[in-house]
Amino acid sequence: MNEITRVKVLVVGGGPGGYAAAIRCGQLGLDTLLIEQGRLGGTCLTRGCIPSKAIIHAATQFEEMNRVAEAPRFGISLANPPRLDFAATIDWKDGIVDQLNKGVAGLLTRAGVKVVRGHARFRDAKTCRVTSPDGDITVHAEHVILATGSVPVELPALPFGGPVMSSSEALSLTHLPTRMAVVGAGYIGLELGIAFRKLGVDVSVVEASDQILPHYDAQLVEPVVRWLERHGVTLHLGARALGFDASELAVETQSGQPLSLPADMVLVTAGRKPAVSGWDLETMALSRSSDFIRVDDRCATSTTNVWAIGDLVGEPMLAHKATAQGTMVAEIIAGHRRRFDPIAIPAVCFTEPEIVSVGLAPTQSDGREIVVARFPFLANGRALSMDGAQDGGFIRVVACKSDHRILGIQAVGQHISELAGEFTLALEMGSVLEDIAGTIHAHPTLGEAFHESALCALGHALHL
């Protein structure tokens, strides 16, 4: 039996963009149906951002206990090294995912959103057929919000399967490999590569660029490089992975010489691409820009009342961007005047140490005269008091020389991700250096380094 349903808003995809859009639609009184074939929360919640951060946290705890077992630190010692039950670690991670998944389901219910578990295929721009375990449903909608997200890029020489994995499979391992080769030194590859190294895995990294984290400048990357070198992570830069057999990854080095890397597992993190296949989106007459769906500053597509958000519409492919776009589209459908025009979208790498970047880097001044100043965590009491000052971390501010308008903020250091909100707010509010310098920051906190970086740019840092 094929049920026929008519709704005001149909949301396809229950990730951070889709479920946020659906919740906001419900809050605004719009009759809304959300279709999700997997678990609510999408890649970010179920097999990306959240589970990876849980593994990173557990790995850091394990590494710290191992260090204390080797030699006393802070007056703390352990008689024996810690033991790791990685399957139990995965169970703990899965518990966090389950809790958040149920939370999203509850929020959708509270907002009055109907959720259908199944796969949608479009017949035209406003009609789709949903194959569901409870029977097929045909949905007619006045508005459609596409939020299908993205999928890992598969390399022709390294098809996924068996020991060749994407980040999704790597986050569901129940036992650790002895040797791991990571192909791709972007933020996903390095976050997971560092976590597995902390857990005792022998890790090597293959990157086609001449630098790890190629979208960041050398100053920001240097502390991460030093951590990798100290912990025995082998970097092969300017290199290309050619294929994998049962125990070795074939690599072509920068000089063109062949190299074989022993590996029990290959983690391929060569980027992500928009998930546009499998929904028959070609029936919707959508304009494309490469693989992405083309939208305007309201996330409207070339087809009236069809909207696209998140990873589908281009870089940056970040969950918080998708959430902001989803809530905006809901409000537009409800009659509000909105457009997507953020001053800056923060990017965070949960490496060791962490990296935050918001706005323009010093090399992106576009011909404007700028002032650049950075304040090291070696001069910050909070960083020193939590043993987070020795890794070369700092906060750097980029401002226009003529009017002191802040154009960008970058930082690298332990727990620096927690300052991403303050950095972004400073840019969104149009802050000048004097605004930050004149704001009293609590002592002792890492935020004082932001205050001092502004003072430094003005020529009168107090603690440097």
pLDDT in tens, 270-327: 999 999 999 999 999 999 998 899 999 999 999 999 999 999 999 999 999 999 999 9
Geometric angle at alpha carbon 86, from 83 and 90, rounded to 5°: 140
Write out the two tokens for 443. Answer: 């002592």
Residue 134's pLDDT is: 81
d(CA 396, CA 412): 9
Residue 256's pLDDT is: 83
Handedness of CA 88, 92, 46, 60 (dihedral sign): negative
d(CA 193, CA 205): 8
Annotation marks residue 336 as catalytic: no
Count of C-beta atoms within a 10 Å radius of residue 79: 5
d(CA 107, CA 9): 17
pLDDT digits (tens, 9 = 90+) for 175-215: 999 999 999 999 999 999 999 999 999 999 999 999 999 99
E strand or H helix at 46, and its extent?
A: helix 42-47
Residue 3's pLDDT is: 87
Give me the phi and psi of 174, to 5 degrees please. -105, -5
Alpha-carbon torsion angle 403, 408, 412, 417, nearest 10: 120
- Helices 447-458, 420-428: crossing angle, 10 deg rounding: 40
Helix (H, G, I), strand (E, B) or coil at 268: strand
* Residues pairing with 408 in the sheet: 359, 398
Write out the two tokens for 432. Answer: 């000048």
Q: What number of residues does the chain have?
A: 464
Q: Quote the strand ranges of 290-390, DSSP E.
A: 292-293, 306-308, 347-349, 354-359, 370-376
Q: Quote the strand ranges of 62-136, DSSP E.
A: 114-117, 119-124, 127-131
Residue 2's pLDDT is: 73
The shares of helix, strand and coil residues in the chain, as percent rounded to the nearest 5, are 35, 30, 40
d(CA 322, CA 193): 26
Q: What is the DSSP string of 371-410?
A: EEEEEEGGG-HHHHHTT-STT--EEEEEEETTT-BEEEEE
Geometric angle at alpha carbon 168, from 162 and 170, rounded to 5°: 60
Q: Quick check: do 3-47+90-152+273-333 and 164-270 share a fold?
A: yes
Residue whose entry in the numeric block shows the structure tokens 């000089």: 255
Q: Which positions ≥6 away from 307 have C-beta within 8 Å? A: 143, 144, 145, 146, 295, 298, 299, 300, 301, 329, 332, 333
Question: Which stretches of the chain score pLDDT less than 50?
Answer: none
Q: What is the CATH number of domain 164-270?
A: 3.50.50.60
Write down the catalytic residue from 143, 443, 460, 463. Answer: 443
pLDDT digits (tens, 9 = 90+) for 111-138: 999 999 999 999 999 999 999 888 899 9
Domain 347-458 of CATH type 3.40.50.740: no
- Assigned CATH topology for domain 3-47+90-152+273-333: FAD/NAD(P)-binding domain (3.50.50)
Q: Which whole-number Å values give the CA distances from 222 to 194, 356, 365, 416, in the listed order?
A: 15, 14, 22, 16
Tell the burial category of 464 from Cβ atoms under 10 Å away from its Cβ (0-12, 13-18, 19+): middle
Alpha-carbon torsion angle 262, 267, 272, 277, nearest 10: 100
Q: What is the rounded end-to-end Cα distance, in angstroms, of the chain?
A: 74
Residue 255's pLDDT is: 84
Q: ω into residue 72 within 30 of 0, thus cis? A: no
d(CA 47, CA 102): 15
Residue 162's pLDDT is: 93
Confidence (pTM): 0.93
Residue-range domain boundaries for the chain: 3-47+90-152+273-333, 164-270, 347-458
d(CA 306, CA 325): 14
d(CA 389, CA 381): 9
Residue 335's pLDDT is: 97
